[in-house]
């Protein structure tokens, strides 16, 4: 059970919860819009069918689901506001907040902006301004299929008719949840995971997540921290079933967010066999497919049912579905009336994807080199400070173990530490937002310019010893 | 009750319906993607809560709602395919199908494309490629507020904080239905109306429409055909209540689609008083606000809660909500994660909206002159043929009365006539798609180049006498 912050109406909510309205209405910070948006010490609302009586009482103008949807915004808004009211800018606000929380690649705007302003991008023709195939223009789906065939190294060419283009991966999760699951059904997902998926499957679709909790400790047959095994999948599935929750699919993020790790081909195959045995859909989010910056990492695309949203351009609103199940493609396409992207952007994306010279000779080498350098910088700093972390050579982030800085292993302490970072003008993402079961893990996004990383690291790491460190953090 | 076309699986559906699977699977045509998408002789599925057992049986991979969502695509796809397989092109396919069905303004692509390719449009900066405020970039919401203040002649300046920007009006209907209504609740809407709203409120939101049926006959206190009165609103509301359907709001389209008419200020005020009396939300769709091409038409914006999607660029995916209810704005904004549009397009839209010289001195005068000329051409042709029609000097369409060409006043005959037009290579929209209660009305979109209009009109109107006409249509 959970309560809503009643800050707008000021009237008490009608539900009893572990914390008073007043408590919940206080100023929690949050990571940013594309990321975790929940208060870390609040549980997700008990999931229920839309239309059920709901306890949200702060706006009589909205439906019960409308009040819940608004709550997701309000709770995210608080952290967002904190950051945006005091955003770092090297000229205008050099003592502002450094954002190491939002997973965006800020290293290659120069390359992207140069490419996107070239003359071939400025094409406007009537068909781009008219209603088009909701799956996306054919010219774009053809380019996506070629692009994926090449970069996923598919054994046979991928087909444009299996491609659906949408305005981002959030939309794709929303549409897939709705067309694959009934209200209240669930997807399995290993934790820690990119927390925004919770709302993506829930807000429109009323679909829940059943967690496969992973540990940092390496025990039994595990060979590395937070390792996903079929045994753990089986247990989580059984547990969901025993609670009467019907599981319809498995969500995998590969490369993983926040772990920055990739699944081996063998692992992927095992997960797929597990899913087939239980007749589960497999949704593989491969957003970070081209952000594997360590050559030694043997990344393999699942080549089956996956998303693409690369180049780190979250503001461009572009994501794609590839599925060989035409029923799924068609049902998602039908919802694309609500997830369409401009014909002009579709044209530009096609131009970008077909410019293989630029991608291979300019963008990817430079991007990987910059990611690698930024990663090396941050990981060396962490090593020098004796702070453990995980990082698998992919993605924009490092999964940092700050457990030793928590006086007690609770999420309240994790939150306090997170807020001390924010007081010191560094915005991070805390582990609870990824449903990590162990308090004290944080995600550091390193895909930013060196001077920001330097500033971002300065305050917490200037005094590495725990006592000094926490004192230092708590000092202001 | 209704059945699904079982064409994909070939297996019989599990539900009993008035027509066999075979019948429903035959080749119905349809109007296009932005428009009516249902088979005219099929009723909308009995509306039910998501998660209820549903009769759609053709894909075991999808949820019940997924199968229904897919059905909306499949049924629309048939007409779409017919047209796209034989699309008219003056060079490549001069005997192809002329599309007078899709409501798009094809008259001003030259102006728009010239404007959109000017150097000020080619701006790319990091913030446009990053996650931004889901309500839309502030620079765009400021321009929208100024634009609307000016063109709606608002008594006080409209505020950027009341503006939410989305990827089109379909998304806006989807989001509003979800945040304002519980599952199964309804909006009142006068018919005939733009039929796609049915799916916009239903596919994600599971919200239904309660029809306020209007007649072409002028009786009682009516002064014109299809006149909406408060008396009719009251009756429809009572009827919905008596059936146990909770009505949460009223949808008005102004200028009207498909009537091409506008509501007077007095009428609008009456509707708002009615809504206030019953505590209903009022959603006013003002998509055609700037497409009032007859100066004598006294169009008034409601200045309250409305949409904007002008310039007739459906492919650009741009729509806005203006509401003074911050709860509604916030709840819709929260769903905008799924309805976002590219930062690059947001920038271009802001540039377009702020170029008041171009809008006032180039675009609007030229657009209105072209609309007026095209409208005059089509209406003169119709008059010469003795075909009655309605048209109020706004929008892209004329509402044409072909009732005298139906041997019987049934929707089956309407459909046969519609198909004869298609056989003659003219795609129109039939009245049933707008839930018109009288069979025999058709919507003709006139906002196209003269040579297409000429070709579009030639076959049906070459022999105006009824006998010849129907014979002629049936001849091929």
DSSP string, B350-402: HHHHH-HHIIIIIIHHHHHHHHHHHHHHHHHHHHHTT--EE--SBSSEEEEE-
Q: Decide which of A305, A322, A355 is a domain's last residue.
A: A355
Burial letters A83-100, b for 16+ CB under 10 A, else e:
beeeebeeeeeeebbbbb
Looking at the structure, tell me whether residues B264 and B288 fall in a common domain.
yes
CA dihedral B344, B349, B352, B354 (to 10 degrees): -110
- The yes-or-no verdict on residue B171 having pLDDT over 50 is yes
Looking at the structure, tell me whether residues B186 and B207 fall in a common domain.
yes
In a domain, A455, yes or no: yes
Neighbours of B368 (CB within 10 A): 16
A342, B315 contact by CB (below 8 A): yes
Neighbours of A285 (CB within 10 A): 24
Neighbours of A110 (CB within 10 A): 10
Cβ–Cβ of A33/B129 closer than 8 Å? Answer: no
pLDDT at res. A377: 94
The interface predicted TM-score of the complex, written ipTM, equals 0.84
Q: Decide which of B355, B381, B406 is a domain's last residue.
A: B355
Token look-up 């996956």 returns A306
Furthest-apart CA atoms within chain B: distance in Å: 66
| Cβ contacts of B178 on chain A, cutoff 8 Å | 63, 65-66, 69, 204
d(CA B195, CA A7): 40
**Token pair listed for B423:** 């056989």
In a domain, A1, yes or no: no
Cβ–Cβ of B124/A131 closer than 8 Å? Answer: no
Looking at the structure, tell me whether residues A386 and A308 fall in a common domain.
no
Provide CB contacts within 8 A for A262, sequence distance 6+. A254, A255, A256, A292, A297, A298, A299, A300, A392, A393, A394
Looking at the structure, tell me whether residues A182 and A203 fall in a common domain.
yes
In a domain, A3, yes or no: no
- The yes-or-no verdict on residue B89 having pLDDT over 80 is yes
Q: Which residues of chain A have pLDDT under 70?
A: 1-58, 77-79, 302-314, 455-476
d(CA A197, CA A257): 11
First to last CA, chain A: 35
pLDDT at res. B163: 93
| Cβ contacts of A174 on chain B, cutoff 8 Å | 338
Average pLDDT, chain B: 82
| Cβ contacts of B45 on chain A, cutoff 8 Å | none
DSSP for A295-332, please give it: TT-------SSEEE--TT-GGG--EEEE-S-HHHHHHH
Cβ–Cβ of B63/A248 closer than 8 Å? Answer: yes
For chain B, how many structural domains are there in total?
3
Q: Whole domain around residue B145: which residue ranges?
A: 121-355
Cβ–Cβ of B117/A122 closer than 8 Å? Answer: yes
| Cβ contacts of A167 on chain B, cutoff 8 Å | 167, 317, 338-342
Residues B209-258 pLDDT 10s: 999 999 999 988 888 999 999 999 999 999 999 999 999 999 999 999 99
In a domain, B240, yes or no: yes
A309, A169 contact by CB (below 8 A): yes
Looking at the structure, tell me whether residues B148 and B214 fall in a common domain.
yes
- Per-state percent for chain B, helix, strand, coil, to nearest 5: 45, 10, 45
How far off is chain B from A265, nearest CA to CA, in Å?
A: 26
The β-bridge relationship of strands B441-445 and B429-430 is antiparallel
Residues B245-296 pLDDT 10s: 999 999 999 999 999 999 988 898 899 999 999 999 999 998 888 888 888 8
In a domain, A35, yes or no: yes
pLDDT at res. B58: 63
Q: CA-nearest residue of chain A to B75?
A: A334
**Token pair listed for B440:** 């025999």
- The yes-or-no verdict on residue B162 having pLDDT over 80 is yes
B282, B269 contact by CB (below 8 A): no
Q: Is B376 on the interface with A (CB under 8 A)?
A: no
How far off is chain A from B167, nearest CA to CA, in Å?
A: 7
d(CA B114, CA A293): 42
Looking at the structure, tell me whether residues B193 and B331 fall in a common domain.
yes
pLDDT at res. B205: 97
Cβ–Cβ of A335/B203 closer than 8 Å? Answer: yes
DSSP for B203-255, please give it: TTT--EEEEEE--SS--TT--STT---HHHHHHHHHHHHHTTPPEEEEEEESS
| Cβ contacts of A116 on chain B, cutoff 8 Å | 124, 344
Residues B331-352 pLDDT 10s: 999 999 999 999 999 999 999 9
pLDDT at res. A77: 63
Q: In B, residues 121-180, which contact A (CB 8 Å cutoff)?
A: 121-134, 167-168, 170-171, 174, 178-180
Torsion angles phi and psi, residue B134, rounded to 5: -65, -20
Q: Which of B47, B66, B99, B328 to mutate to test the interface with A (most CBs of A within 10 A)?
A: B66
In a domain, A41, yes or no: yes
| Residue % of chain B over a pLDDT of 70 | 79
How far off is chain B from A68, nearest CA to CA, in Å?
A: 8
A321, A332 contact by CB (below 8 A): yes
B197, B63 contact by CB (below 8 A): no
In a domain, A6, yes or no: no
pLDDT at res. A132: 87
**Token pair listed for B222:** 């009516």
Q: Decide which of A355, A376, A393 is a domain's last residue.
A: A355
DSSP for B85-125, please give it: TTB-BTTTBTTSBEE-SS----S-HHHHHHHHTSGGG----
In a domain, B112, yes or no: no
Burial letters A347-368, b for 16+ CB under 10 A, else e:
bbbbbbbbbeebbeeebbeebb
Provide the angle, in degrees to the nearest 10, between the axes of the packed helices B64-84 and A326-335: 80
- The yes-or-no verdict on residue B23 having pLDDT over 90 is no
Looking at the structure, tell me whether residues B433 and B331 fall in a common domain.
no
At A307, which CATH number?
3.40.640.10
Cβ–Cβ of B330/A73 closer than 8 Å? Answer: yes
From the list A61, A179, A316, which residue is nearest B325 (CB)?
A61
Provide CB contacts within 8 A for B442, sequence distance 6+. B399, B400, B402, B418, B428, B429, B430, B431
CB-defined contacts A:B, below 8 A: 284
Looking at the structure, tell me whether residues B297 and B220 fall in a common domain.
yes
Looking at the structure, tell me whether residues A366 and A261 fall in a common domain.
no
From the list B67, B128, B204, which residue is nearest A204 (CB)?
B204
Contacts 24+ apart (CB under 8 A), B304-313: B304/B272, B305/B281, B307/B169, B307/B172, B308/B144, B308/B147, B308/B148, B309/B168, B309/B169, B311/B105, B311/B108, B311/B112, B311/B352, B311/B363, B312/B104, B312/B105, B312/B106, B312/B108, B312/B396, B312/B447, B313/A129, B313/A130, B313/B112
From the list A61, A125, A183, which residue is nearest B327 (CB)?
A61
Q: CA-nearest residue of chain A to B172?
A: A338
d(CA A50, CA A30): 26
CA dist A198 → A434, B53, B330 (Å): 10, 25, 19
d(CA A268, CA A300): 9
Q: Which of A115, A116, A334, A341 to mutate to test the interface with B (most CBs of B within 10 A)?
A: A334
Looking at the structure, tell me whether residues A303 and A422 fall in a common domain.
no
**Token pair listed for B349:** 């839209």
Cβ–Cβ of A334/B72 closer than 8 Å? Answer: yes
Looking at the structure, tell me whether residues A351 and A423 fall in a common domain.
no
Q: Is A51 on the interface with B (CB under 8 A)?
A: yes
- The yes-or-no verdict on residue B41 having pLDDT over 70 is no
**Token pair listed for A214:** 């992973």
pLDDT at res. B455: 60
Looking at the structure, tell me whether residues A144 and A244 fall in a common domain.
yes
How far off is chain A from B327, nearest CA to CA, in Å?
A: 7
Phi-psi region of B225 (alpha: psi -120 to 50; beta: other; left: phi over 0): beta
Cβ–Cβ of A32/B131 closer than 8 Å? Answer: yes
At A364, which CATH number?
3.90.1150.10
Q: Is the peptide bond before B166 cis (omega within 30 degrees of 0)?
A: no
Q: Which of B331, B351, B449, B452 to mutate to test the interface with A (most CBs of A within 10 A)?
A: B331
| Cβ contacts of B328 on chain A, cutoff 8 Å | 61-62
pLDDT at res. A293: 86
Cβ–Cβ of B171/A49 closer than 8 Å? Answer: no
From the list B171, B178, B313, which residue is nearest A129 (CB)?
B313
pLDDT at res. A206: 96
Q: Which of A82, A60, A58 is nearest to A71 (CA)?
A: A58
- The yes-or-no verdict on residue B51 having pLDDT over 50 is no
The β-bridge relationship of strands A208-213 and B98-99 is unpaired
Cβ–Cβ of B168/A340 closer than 8 Å? Answer: yes
């Amino acid at each position: 059970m959970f309560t809503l912050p009643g800050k707008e109406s000021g009237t008490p909510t009608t539900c009893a919860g572990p914390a008073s309205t007043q408590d919940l209405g206080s100023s929690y910070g949050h990571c940013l819009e594309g990321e975790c948006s929940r208060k870390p010490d609040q549980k997700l609302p008990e999931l229920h069918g839309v239309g059920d009586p709901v306890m949200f009482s702060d706006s009589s103008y909205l439906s019960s689901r409308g009040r819940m949807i608004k709550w997701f915004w309000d709770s995210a808004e608080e952290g967002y506001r904190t950051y945006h009211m005091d955003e770092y800018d090297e000229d205008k606000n050099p003592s502002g907040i450094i954002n190491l929380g939002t997973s965006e690649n800020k290293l290659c705007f120069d390359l992207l902006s140069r490419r996107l302003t070239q003359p071939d991008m400025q094409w406007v023709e009537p068909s781009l301004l008219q209603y088009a195939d909701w799956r996306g223009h054919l010219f774009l789906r053809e380019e996506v299929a070629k692009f994926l065939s090449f970069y996923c190294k598919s054994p046979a060419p991928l087909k444009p008719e299996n491609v659906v283009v949408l305005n981002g991966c959030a939309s794709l999760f929303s549409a897939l949840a709705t067309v694959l699951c009934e209200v209240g059904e669930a997807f399995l997902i290993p934790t820690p995971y990119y927390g925004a998926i919770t709302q993506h499957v829930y807000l429109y679709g009323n679909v829940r997540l059943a967690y496969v909790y992973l540990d940092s400790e390496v025990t039994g047959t595990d060979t590395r921290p937070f390792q996903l095994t079929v045994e753990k999948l089986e247990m989580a599935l059984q547990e969901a079933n025993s609670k009467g929750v019907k599981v319809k699919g498995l969500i995998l993020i590969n490369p993983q967010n926040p772990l920055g790790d990739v699944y081996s081909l063998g692992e992927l195959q095992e997960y797929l066999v597990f899913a087939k045995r239980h007749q589960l859909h497999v949704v593989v989010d491969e957003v970070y497919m081209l952000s594997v910056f360590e050559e030694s990492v043997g990344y393999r695309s699942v080549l089956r049912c996956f998303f693409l949203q690369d180049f780190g351009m979250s503001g461009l609103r572009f994501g794609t579905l590839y599925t060989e199940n035409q029923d799924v493609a068609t049902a998602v396409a039908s919802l694309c009336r609500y997830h369409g992207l401009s014909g002009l952007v579709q044209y530009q994306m096609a131009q970008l994807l077909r410019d293989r010279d630029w991608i291979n000779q300019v963008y990817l080498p430079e991007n990987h080199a910059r990611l690698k350098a930024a990663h090396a910088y941050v990981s060396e700093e962490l090593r020098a400070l004796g702070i453990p972390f995980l990082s698998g050579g992919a993605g924009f982030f490092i999964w940092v173990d700050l457990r030793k800085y928590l006086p007690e292993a609770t999420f309240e302490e994790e939150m306090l530490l997170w807020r001390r970072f924010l007081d010191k003008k560094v915005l991070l993402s805390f582990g609870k937002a990824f449903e990590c079961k162990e308090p004290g893990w944080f995600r550091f996004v390193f895909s930013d310019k060196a001077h920001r990383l330097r500033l971002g690291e300065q305050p917490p790491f200037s005094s590495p010893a725990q006592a000094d460190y926490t004192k230092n953090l708590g000092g202001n």
